[in-house]
Amino acid sequence: MNLRTRTTHRAATVGLLLAATVLTAPQAVAAGTRTSAEPASSATAKPLGRLGPLTALVIERLLVSDEVAAAKFGTDSPVEDPVREAQVLEQVRAQAEAAGVDADTAVAFFRDQITASKEVQRALFARWTAHPEEAPTTRPDLGVIRVRLDRLTTDLLAELRNTAELRDRPVTCSVQLALAEVSGAVRERLDAPHRRALSTATNSVCRTGGTVSPVPQGTPRS
C-alpha cells in the first residue's frame, strides 16, 4: 500500500468515525435549517482539529460567496472575472511574501478559494433561475463584501503560516483536514454544492495535493 493510499484510507476512516459522532450530537440535529443569511453560532460552528481554524476561515469565505452571488444575480456582473482574479492573486503573492508564507503555496491555495467561490455562485444562480421565489430580494454591496474578503485573506495567510509544518506532513495533514472538513460541514449544515466547494477550496491545503475524504451528508443549508 503506497503513501497516498494509506493517507486516503486513514482520512476516510477518521471522516466516517467523526461523522457518526457529530451527527448524533444535539447541535447537529437541531430542528430547522439555517439559511445563508443566518450567522453561525461561535459555540457550535468551529471545525475540529489542528486545521480547524484554517477550515473555519475557508468555510466563512465560502459563505461570503452566497452574498457575492446575491450581489451579481440579475445584473451584468459575470461569475468569471479573469482580470479581477489575476489582481487578487497578485495581491496574495505580495501579502504572502510580506507575511512569511511561501508565495507559490499561497497563490495555489487562493486560486482554489476563487474556484470554489465560483462553484457556489454558479450553483446558486442555477437554483435561483429554476426557483425564482428563492432568489434574493436585496442586493448586497460588492464593495463591502470585498472588504470582508480582504480581511479573510489576511487571516487565511496567517493560518497558512501557522500550519506550515503540519501541512508538510502528508498523513497527519490529511487526517486533520478530514476531521476539520467533516465537522465544519456538519456544524454549518452545508448543502451539497457548498460541500463540494469546500473540497475544492481545501484541495491544496496538504502539500501532497490535498487528498481528503468525502464530506458526508449533514443537515443541509438552504
Q: What is the pLDDT of residues 112-162, one digit of tens each?
A: 999 999 999 999 999 999 999 999 999 999 999 999 999 999 999 999 999
Task: Answer whether residue 161 is part of any domain.
Answer: yes
Q: Give the closest residue to 52 by CA, choosing from 149, 199, 178.
A: 178
Task: Answer whether residue 6 is part of any domain.
Answer: no
Q: How many domains does the chain have?
A: 1
Contacts of residue 200, defined as CB under 8 A and 6 or more positions apart, other chains included, come to 112, 115, 116, 119
pLDDT of amino acid 155: 98
pLDDT of amino acid 18: 54
Q: What is the CATH number of the domain that holds 83?
A: 1.20.59.10
pLDDT of amino acid 70: 97
Task: Answer whether residue 21 is part of any domain.
Answer: no
Q: Is 88 helix (H, G, I), strand (E, B) or coil?
A: helix
Specify the higher pLDDT residue, 95 or 217: 95
pLDDT digits (tens, 9 = 90+) for 21-73: 444 444 443 333 344 444 444 445 589 999 999 999 999 999 999 999 999 99
- Domain coverage including residue 154: 51-201
pLDDT of amino acid 207: 83
Task: Answer whether residue 12 is part of any domain.
Answer: no
pLDDT of amino acid 12: 53
Are residues 221 and 190 in contact, defined by beta-carbon separation less than 8 angstroms?
Answer: yes
pLDDT of amino acid 42: 44
Q: What are phi and psi of 80, to 5 degrees?
A: -80, 125
H/E segment holding residue 216? none
pLDDT of amino acid 39: 46
Task: Answer whether residue 23 is part of any domain.
Answer: no
Task: Answer whether residue 193 is part of any domain.
Answer: yes
Task: Answer whether residue 103 is part of any domain.
Answer: yes
Task: Answer whether residue 221 is part of any domain.
Answer: no
